[in-house]
Structure 1
């Protein structure tokens, strides 16, 4: 498994996800004929009603002699939201500023199951060269061969994650059934370490492998009851002599002040981002320096910092949105000459390249070695080193590749969206999440999110910092805002297993990996169960209430400004001793700094640095109460009734 975090495709001014192919339906995507059934890879998919939509259900095993299929990861596969209550649109600011167009996210972000993909470059089999020792970028195989029931032992073909761990192909080469970031498993040669990456010294990339895990596959026997650890796919626990999913009660309580480093039971960044059996890097992230800009500095426009809450991004987002000046040009007037190059900030290896459901929206992951990854989302097109892969990648295709790249080399072009960008550092761990267990079922890389500014050389850092809309420290923003014993921070509906959105019961007795993460046939998207009460990403004196469930229990993500009235506690001060408090919820109105030019009609120029927000039209009320067990009660309205909901961390 390379990535457990959700890939949430929200393109507010572009297109939505395409419908599923009938031959290989994808759970949560739209279908046409109610109750239509399609059998693929030993699974039966049914066209079901979800809210006002018709979507493909999760696959159900064929009753008689099912064809083995790859076991997807417990990672949500979001579907387009068809909310009963639309997200309030912001009131135009007095200077008619542009509403920023957030692009699809990574959050940490699992890769969508490919419908077709470029054949990944085979992992090297020769002796590794000097480098980070961080591993090659193998993945789940050639989507063109993605018949999940395929029984052939062929490198790149899918295999059954619950079947043999290794087998020989027709030429006698030993292959391993290896799980990729999309949750599917494919036959792979033993992983070797990639060549030198980054601009630092980098330790020698030796061929040592992580050859064993604390526990075996789910459903297998174990001997040490209570033992918790990574099994190559999930965090598991030994219970009654059987390996099962580790549940909340199985993991240690978070220490006061949060974790200052990764707890031993939480997967490493290498385990999250790279294939199983990849060696952990031994060199320091401090040896990696970003010597080139991602976007030419003279083309850089105002940048949205980490921490925005918008649409189905209910909790604060773990990436920034780099603005490009071409967004100021009306869409109808843009030409091919207006594209700007997107380049690697440091040496590394491109490990993932995939389409996010739109012809102008792609995701790229670069492993820079020494536990440092950069992720790019809503890239308008692949060029340069990715030109060949781009020409072969089919709509919704996702490829796991191994393409070395040098600092300053182009891999894409941008014109019509802000570019999502973030950095993960596997040696860091955010302390502001009061319960990191909740991120095991989605966005598992989130605690490894770090400020990207210190990685850049001083001249580039200065330019990128000055472009950030937020003027308070930290300029890059903050995503971990939990306040223990108070209402501020991230919450998940009681009875659900954290970020993934599925009920606890689905995991408690599972003997194989849960399919589809938080995407169920009865919910519109995985974040239906999420709630965040956090500072606005730019104007940090203001509070945003962001919910995945406003009026529609299937999910209708909505964001409000939470208005703190006279004498009322701010959310970070609302504790159990405060009792229940009712707040007004308002539409957000944006105010640009004095002297800001009016936005050109038809453009999508980002809001300027230093803008502020204020309460617009009052839309609703919400009653909140922090309980003695540190759970949170919520109801939209002026009092609690039987409709009151309870959320946990």
Structure 2
């Protein structure tokens, strides 16, 4: 959870070190299947050398009618893939319905790794995660079908992959569905907006209307409040690793225990520090007010630079969020 990913992300992040010389590393198909869509975005520029640019591809592989792998931010397509699709210009898409799917076998190259990292997710449409209102994710309809990819690998590859995973707590691939009916835990959407659909009028930074009250992706015992709106908190100055995702002083109260009977709750938003920014930092950033109003509705307000004892209650700047 950070920046435009206000709610927990449905994908894992895979990183490598900066390469030397010609980049010859390819991402391989994890299982037999068919490439059914490729999106080509604007080229990416290496942050360590602006003369290095690589393509930016999102590739969807269908393994069965209900089981898919998605890769994002892959680089140059493998020759066999390119031979099938032809060149895909930036800001355009290739779909198998316009020609035929690209068959791939497990272990075959599909594209270069790109820069130093890419996104990876696996989705099973026979699985539906525990979101209170799944329809709110129609704009990213694969999200509610996200599954742990590691369970599908055989040894010794499974253990090799898990040895590189930062999170040590099960499930090792993490969790994204923290919604608990009747509590403040989970994902919320600003009143008047509808989840992952584009804003009225089209386009827009829809994630600015998102809010998540949940837990850290590495250490789920740590409470996190991830806020899309402009809170007035100066992250660059006071928490340059937060990107809108804050720890709370005292690590509580647990959002899973807060419901309509709890009344007004005051969280003191804190910076984050330590390995992978998991620990609660020493910088107080402001107060987050939240109250569960019932009927899948909460009222919230962020008061930057104020301690909880300095805040009496909601002002006219408070906002309504719904499931």
User: Normalised by the size of structure 2, how large is the TM-score?
Assistant: 0.83
User: 1:586 and 2:256 equivalent?
Assistant: no
- Alpha-carbon distance in 2 for matches of 1:646, 1:355: 37
Counterpart position of 2:67: 372
Alpha-carbon RMSD across the aligned residues, in angstroms, is 2.2
The 8 Å contact of residues 563 and 584 in structure 1, kept in 2 or not, is answered as yes
Does the Cα contact within 8 Å between 1:496 and 1:529 map onto a contact in 2?
yes
Aligned to 1:78: none
Tell me whether 1:459 sits opposite 2:156 in the alignment.
yes
Mapped contact 1:481–1:490 kept (Cα < 8 A): yes
Q: Which structure: greater helix fraction?
A: 2
Please list every run of 5 or more consecutive structure 1 residues that lacks an aligned counterpart in the other structure: 1-308, 504-514, 592-606
Tell me what 2:293 maps to: 627
| Residue 494 of structure 1: aligned partner | 191
**Runs (5+) with no aligned partner, structure 2:** 45-53, 233-241, 304-310
Match of 2:28 among 335, 338, 343: 343
Change (3 A) 1:501 1:565: farther
SS at match of 1:336: coil
**Following the alignment from structure 1 to structure 2, what is the Cα–Cα distance between the partners of residues 540 and 390?**
42
Instruction: Determine the structure 1 residue equivalent to 2:80.
Output: 385
Match of 2:58 in 1: 363
Aligned position for 1:412: 111
Higher-RCO chain (CA-CA 8 Å, sequence separation at least 6): 1
Instruction: Determine the C-alpha separation between the residues in 1 that align with 2:322 and 2:31.
Output: 40
SS at match of 1:453: helix
Whether contact under 8 Å (1:355, 1:362) holds in the other structure is yes
- Looking at CA atoms only, which structure, 1 or 2, has the larger radius of gyration? 1
Q: Residue 14 of structure 2: which of 322, 328, 339 is its match?
A: 322
Secondary structure in 1 matching 2:63: strand
TM-score by length of 1: 0.43
8 A contact 2:73–2:114 mirrored in 1: no
Note if contact 1:494-1:647 (Cα within 8 Å) is conserved in structure 2.
yes
Q: Which of 241, 250, 253 matches 1:569?
A: 253
Runs of 4 or more, structure 1, over 3 Å off, are 387-391
Q: Is the contact made by 1:562 and 1:583 (CA closer than 8 Å) also made in structure 2?
A: no
Aligned-residue offset at 1:445:
1.5
- Given candidates 269, 276, 280, the residue that maps to 1:614 is 280
- From the superposition, tell whether residues 404 and 560 of structure 1 become closer, same or farther in structure 2 (CA, over 3 Å): closer
Deviation at 1:390, TM superposition (A): 7.8
| 8 A Cα contact 1:539 1:612, kept in partner | yes
SS in 2 for 1:381: coil
Q: Could you tell me how far 1:628 is from its partner in structure 2?
A: 2.6
1:439 counterpart = 2:137: yes
Structure 1 residue 429 corresponds to structure 2 residue 128: yes
Q: Secondary structure at the match of 1:646?
A: strand
CA distance in 2, matches of 1:579, 1:414: 50
Describe how 1:538-577 pairs up with structure 2 within 5 A: 538-551=218-231, 558-565=243-250, 568-577=252-261
